[in-house]
Structure 1
Amino acid sequence: MTQTPSPQFSVSALRNPIREHHGAVWGPPQYTNWIEESLSWKETCYLGDWTFLPSMRYTGPDVLRLFSDVSVNTMNNFAIGQSKHIIQCDENGKIIDDAVLSRTGEQEVISFSTFWADYVRRQGDYDVEAEYVGLSKFHLQGPTSLFVLESAAQASVRDLKFMRSMKVSIADVEVTVLRQGMSGEVGFELQFPIEKADVVRAALLEAGSDHGMKQMGGRVAMLNHLEAYYPTQGLDYMPAVFDGRHPDFLHELVENGGGWMDIYYRVAGSFESDDIRDWYRSPVEFGWGNRINFDHEFIGADALREEVASPRRSGATLVWNSEDIIDLYASLFRKGEPLPDFMELPQDPRGYVYADSVLKNGERVGITSSRGYSAYFREMISLCVLDVEHNVPGDEVTVLWGNPGTAQREIRATIAPAPYKPNRSRVDLHSL
């Protein structure tokens, strides 16, 4: 039987202010200036620190069976040295967690930033052990990232395929290089013992000085997810844990989540509902249907079979009307007008799922999130899930801007494809 959500996690409670800025986990808000840093992964490259994301090693004969049971992804043909973007859902096909999973041995994987698999492991009959691993995770992303990496490692990495790993040595530290592309450009994640962070950072900064590399501050950390379309937990969706279906797991997150519940899981924006499930999302809505494989049974499979066959919503980018944005800022200086909610630049730093209603002819047809200013495109853009019949690139819709009870205003927006920025992450490294 579905249980009633705990009162502290009602929708009204989740609109309470966050005590810490989301961007603080990446270090300083900016190293030089945020506009320069936001341009770096399109023009040169950046160095970012994602060490705050927990890493957990799972070992044992049932390790692939565990992740097969909790993930929409297949674990067949999962090679040692390969990584996957795994998606984990509840029984209704709504996302509880998504993360990167790397196979590091015959009976060993490392999962980056997921707690749900460990909870299921402890509730089920799995011959699997789990332990936290102290890994630093540096991101080197952008067109010149390959040259910085090769300079620092004094070795070629051009045979490295997308979502595959190899070992290199940087400043006498063994570093695992995972080729990935969270920026939609050539990119790498560098993993190594956390106590070696200062040594590796210094070597990368020295190598990057000849290639225009910037350090990524917290103000722009999530802009690449917006431009390259990587919907993110806590910014674009709430994990499907707040509706009372899994109270023990929710209790663990509250008690053992290192304060994440207070930092990340809050809602804001013009979208209103009394049901927290309206902030949940499915992999189908985000366009992740190509990751769903029904060659195995997994939690949420029945619900996703129905949704794959008849999707209700799909993902898009919204390009907000520049004249309307300029007028919103101008209204801050017009005496006598109600003050609107301030539109932070480049994004809201507080880590809300800032969800705004998307209207067509006065009717809600979607919900938008991750609103941010792209200095590269000179536009305000956002991610969006839209009713499929209204997801037509080039069509105009309206975003209702502002929290309930404020001087809300309607801002025109144009539907565009997602990702908005062309994806160049899988180019042949030998061609560079």
Structure 2
Amino acid sequence: MTDPAPFRAFKAIQPLEYPSIMGSPEYSGWQDEQLSWKEGVYIGDWSFVPQIRITGPDALQLFKDLSVNSFEIFPVGKAKHCIMCNEDGKVISEGILLRHGDDDFEYECGTPQWVYYKLKTGGYDVDVQFPVTHKLQVSGPKSLALLEELTGSSLRDIRFMTTKTVTINGLEVSLLRQGMAGEIGFELHGPIQNHPAIYGAVLEAGQKYGIRRLGRRTVQINHLEASFPTGGIHFMNALSDDTKADYRRFMDENLPPEWEPTPFAGPMRYNFATSFTGSWDGGAIEDLYRSPVEMGWGKSIKFDHEFIGSAALKEELANPRRAVVTLEFNSEDLVDIYASLFKDGSAYHLFEIPHAPWVTCWTDQIVVDGETVGHSTHPGFSFYFRRGLALSFIDVAYSEPGTEVSVLWGNPGEPQALIRATVQPAPYKQDTRRKDLSQIKI
């Protein structure tokens, strides 16, 4: 077991801010920006997310060996949520894997370093590149109309997690249909030098659709509402324990030159998850690792191939311990947290609105009758639903919607309070990502 103390935010390590490449904290106000993916359309910039492109005869085998996903049906032009685990079935890396050719794959995620390490130390016959591209999210009910007008072509034939090449102002763009806000959405991919032209074209065409720019002050609320657990925010990627010393040494000695000017040359060279905060006070950083089962990704696990962690995941699927839920905080208790700042006595840790500005794995204890029954993660405020919410991992016995629990609020050694909370489904908002585009009327 690995001592968690060196990872405690503000006490031992300074947590990272959301990178400035994501844009300004706010553009039209965070309340207005939060409404955009329910009522209109937004553009968000995720170009900082690194990627690794792997080609060669062993490229497919590499991903089979590392990933819980099946590759029996994975045609060129498709993408999938690719998940990789350690031997204990805890998630090391997860992101979007695109197949550009029979032996040509591109993996976009917060921890592509793991794939790089495994391909270099595993004797795979592959070539590796580290392209830098723009990745612009355009999402919301009006995203389809906007992009059809901008590209001058029908996009109704793009199925979920499928790509299509289009042209915007004479520049070639690869559209990936996904939807990180739980709504119809697309990612626009292309060479990084085209970033200003493509971003500007989307903004200009989007004016008639009321487009909003998504600021980094509220960027995680759509992940929260739509239940997309994110490494470094909602869980610790399983790369921080003592068993990964060889991996960290490798990254020190083999950092790709393309990453030198990015945050991945600094603290994130090993792991997107660099720190944690919250009331959790356990004795091992491994307790903050999560399996794909408890994060709601069990359907992606296929045992039609051998992969790292398969035995542990087979056992967990047969007897799951925890499930992902959304905790809905009691609003009166949140008001009391704020009120404590303005009167004598204990002042509690602030519930930041709309969410904390730090890339840190927030972990509070969920309590029932004095017993810890799960972990509440990076909290946030949904202006649309007017609720404080948190994606949470809770013992299966307490995962039924409507179950009343409490969250121990406040870091160890500081004033703490119990905030009442109610278990709700995850995702919290209705998921409309997979709508049949051919049936949408504009």
TM-score interval, normalised by the smaller of the two chains? over 0.9
The equivalent of 2:378 in structure 1 is: 370
Deviation string for 1:312-367 (max 9, x for gaps)?
Answer: 11111100001111111112112x22111111111111111110000011110000
Q: Distance in 2 between matches of 1:271 and 1:371?
A: 14
- Whether contact under 8 Å (1:26, 1:221) holds in the other structure is no
Classify the secondary structure of the residue corresponding to 1:220.
coil
1:329 alignment counterpart: 338
Match status 1:379 vs 2:387 = yes
Task: Describe the shift of the 1:44–1:79 C-alpha distance in structure 2 as closer, same or farther (beyond 3 A).
Answer: same
Shift, 1:23, TM fit: 5.2
| 1:284 matches 2:280 | no
Q: Partner amino acid for 1:423?
A: D
Alignment match of 1:110 (pick from 92, 106, 116) = 106
1:73-122 Cα shifts (integer Å, max 9, x gaps): 01111100000001000011010010100000111011102221221111
Q: Does 1:87 align with 2:83?
A: yes
- Equivalent residues in 2 for 1:389-408 (5 A)? 389-408=397-416
From 408, 425, 429, the equivalent of 1:417 is 425
> SS state of the match for residue 390, structure 2?
strand
Alignment of 1:153-232 (within 5 A): 153-232=151-230
User: Per-residue displacement from partner, 1:139-178 (whole Å, max 9, x unpaired)?
Assistant: 0011001111112111111110000000000011100000
Q: TM-score, normalised by structure 2?
A: 0.93
Which residue does 2:396 correspond to in 1?
A: 388
SS at match of 1:403: coil
Structure 1 pair 395–29 and aligned structure 2 pair: CA distance change class (3 A):
same
Aligned length: 424
Instruction: Choose which of 293, 296, 300 in structure 1 pairs with 2:309.
Output: 300
Deviations 1:393-419 (A, max 9, x none): 101000011111111100000000110
1:120 to 115, 118, 121: 118
Superposed displacement of residue 245, structure 1: 1.5
Match of 2:58 in 1: 62
Q: 1:273 is matched with which residue: 279, 282, 295?
A: 282
Q: Which runs of 5+ in 1 are unaligned?
A: none
**Distance across 1 between alignment mates of 2:268 and 2:425:** 32
Q: Secondary structure at the match of 2:296?
A: coil
- Give the Cα separation in 2 of the matches to 1:276 and 1:325: 28
* Alpha-carbon distance between aligned partners in 1 of 2:50 and 2:321, rounded to the nearest angstrom: 34
Question: Does structure 1 retain, via aligned residues, the 8 Å contact 2:178–2:184?
Answer: yes
What is the CA distance between 1:246 and its match in structure 2? 2.1
Change (3 A) 1:254 1:361: farther
CA contact (8 A) 1:23 1:351 kept: no
Residue range with higher mean Cα deviation, 296-305 or 23-32: 23-32
Moved more, 14-23 or 293-302: 14-23
Post-superposition offset of 1:252: 4.3
TM, length-normalised to structure 1: 0.96
One-letter amino acid of the structure 2 residue matched with residue 280 of structure 1: Y
Structure 1: which 4+ aligned runs deviate by more than 4 Å?
A: 252-255
Unaligned stretches of 5+ in structure 2?
Answer: 256-263
